[in-house]
Amino acid sequence: MNLSTPDIHFEMRDNIAVIRLTRPSKRNALSDGLVASIRNIFENLPEHAGAAVIDGDGEHFCAGLDLSELKERDAGQGMHHSRSWHVALERLQYGPVPVVAALHGAVVGGGLELASACHIRVADESTFYALPEGSRGIFVGGGGSVRIPRLIGVARMTDMMLTGRVYNAVDGERIGLAQYLVPTGSAFDKAFELAQRIATNAPLTNYALMHALPRIAEQPADQGFLTEALMCSIAQAAPEAKQRVRAFLEGRADKVQKG
Ligand code: 1HE
């Protein structure tokens, strides 16, 4: 199946899915069609995909919602529009494989919402983050109010939206918007290297990290402990887990190296 469109490029590099926003003349602004394409890609990833990388062509990762499509919508239409983003980004977050975002330039508005749905964010030094919705008279609608406070806290997101505060790459990494900060121009390479490493994990471990961990983290502790015990028992019962543990005990597996 051809998952590319003029605005998004999809390719498999061995078992890594590479997804690139290709609308640089509009700073990769997310049109309705582009959001639908993201959903389509994560609903139809090839079975052999082990991880994915998403990045953007040109000077910026993503300028957010395509403001030229911001129509006069009544409340019901507005809700359905927002829900279409939720579905697309849920397919990404709770999809078949972990996704690493390679960030550079503007990561703003819906672009930050897209990045927040990814499992790992690698930012280069040109990256900057903002939520200009506040100054455009609108509100986040792509899951940002759920995901961004979980990365940086309600107070920082409130500040970004009330005051238009822009975080640079260094401060973005410090507060938790990205887990990695790399030299300008190297975010994709680092993200790809991480994706290759992720793809060597046992599939059930990756599944647990994507689907169980965020839900456990939202559960009351007593329920979380039980869910953890269930997930842990399922993962360790898999033949692959047994092989990996045996390989370590027999000296055939890598030791943890000092960072
Ligand atoms: C756009 C968009 C866009 C650029 N929708 N067309 N997002 C924003 O409020 C951010 C708006 N964008 C910007 O602040 C700047 O464009 C950037 C800082 C990202 C980049 O600046 P720069 O100088 O490199 O580019 P530019 O000259 O501003 O833009 C180049 C073209 O892209 C220009 O079009 P042109 O026809 O005049 O060449 C811009 O109009 C166009 N462009 N960004 C449409 N966002 C689910 S709810 C989510 C809610 C939101 O995301 S709200 C936040 C929207």
- Using a 6 Å cutoff on CB, does residue 144 contact ligand 1? no
Overall pTM > 0.85: yes
Q: Return the axis-axis angle of helices 110-117 and 75-93, rounded to nearest 10°.
A: 30
Q: Looking at residue 114, what is its pLDDT?
A: 98
pLDDT of residue 233: 96
If one residue of 25, 26, 27, 145 were mutated to test the ligand 1 pocket, choosing by the most ligand atoms within 8 A of its CB, it would be: 27
Q: 110: Cβ below 6 Å to ligand 1?
A: yes
Contacts of 85 (CB under 8 A, 6+ apart): 35, 110, 113, 141, 142, 143
Give me the pLDDT at residue 134, please: 87
Mean pLDDT, the chain, integer? 96
Residue 1: pLDDT band by 50, 70, 90 thresholds? confident
Written as one letter, the residue type at 167 is Y
CA distance 190 to 203: 21
- Distance separating alpha carbons of residues 79 and 95, to the nearest angstrom: 23
Predicted pLDDT at 259? 84
Per-residue pLDDT reduced to its tens digit, 11-48: 999 999 999 999 999 999 999 999 999 999 999 999 99
Q: For 11-15, 135-139, 226-230, which range has the lowest pLDDT when averaged over its residues?
A: 135-139
pLDDT tens digits along 140-179: 999 999 999 999 999 999 999 999 999 999 999 999 999 9
Of 142, 147, 29, 39, the C-alpha closest to 86 is 142
What is the Å distance from ligand 1's center to 60 Cα?
10
Catalytic positions are 113, 133
Q: What is the per-residue pLDDT for 7?
A: 97
Distance from residue 14's CA to the centre of ligand 1 (Å):
34
Q: What pLDDT sits at residue 72? A: 81
Q: Domains of the chain by range and CATH?
A: 8-198 (3.90.226.10), 203-249 (1.10.12.10)
Contact 46, 2 (CB under 8 A): no
pLDDT score at 128: 98
The pLDDT tens digits of the residues spanning 54-107 come to 999 999 999 999 999 987 888 999 999 999 999 999 999 999 999 999 999 999
In the three-class reduction of DSSP (H, G, I as helix; E, B as strand; rest coil), residue 258 is classed as coil
